[in-house]
């Protein structure tokens, strides 16, 4: 019996909504990464982008366990001398909640051109409102 290999032309994609309100950031990100990669499907093929579209709402109300709000740091560098900028998770959640969730999901995807293609199917919003109701997304529980 031959192994099944999905073709990119025959991939069927669905839309899922994940509500991050009161959920741990890592749980939300890992569930989103599985859906984006397509590992929840029986037709999963490692070298094909066979994942689905993921919408994460209420990013502003995502939870962090333990002392991560004060201790977890996010770093950016402008590539100029002295251009290191660091923020803790509390500042990120208050001022940049979308970027915080996107970084968590992006870190769980492959670090190559396939992962970049998967990342383009992620949509994160601060509140419950999103403009993708026409795609009839399914609610995904965590």
Task: Enumerate the domain spans of the chain.
Answer: 13-58+100-127+136-142
pTM of the predicted structure, to 2 decimals: 0.93
pLDDT reported for residue 4: 85
In this structure, are residues 6 and 41 in contact, taking their beta carbons and an 8 Å threshold?
Answer: no
Please compute the mean of the pLDDT values over residues 48-72 and round it to a whole number.
96
pLDDT reported for residue 20: 96
What class does CATH assign to 13-58+100-127+136-142?
alpha beta
Nearest to 104 by CA among 24, 16, 25: 25
Tell the burial category of 124 from Cβ atoms under 10 Å away from its Cβ (0-12, 13-18, 19+): buried
pLDDT tens-place string over residues 83-128: 999 999 999 999 999 999 999 999 999 999 999 999 999 999 999 9
pLDDT reported for residue 2: 85
């Amino acid at each position: 019996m031959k192994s099944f290999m999905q073709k990119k032309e025959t991939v069927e994609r669905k839309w899922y909504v994940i509500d991050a309100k009161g959920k741990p950031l890592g749980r939300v990100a890992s569930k989103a990464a599985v859906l984006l990669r397509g590992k929840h499907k029986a037709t999963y093929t490692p070298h094909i982008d066979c994942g689905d579209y993921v919408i994460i709402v209420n990013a502003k109300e995502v939870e962090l366990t333990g002392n991560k709000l004060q201790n977890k740091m996010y770093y950016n560098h402008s590539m100029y001398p002295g251009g290191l900028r660091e923020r803790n998770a509390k500042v990120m959640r208050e001022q940049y909640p979308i970027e915080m969730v996107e970084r968590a999901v992006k870190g769980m995807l492959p670090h190559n051109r396939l992962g970049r293609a998967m990342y383009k199917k992620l949509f994160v919003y601060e509140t419950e409102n999103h403009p993708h109701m026409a795609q009839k997304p399914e609610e995904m529980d965590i």
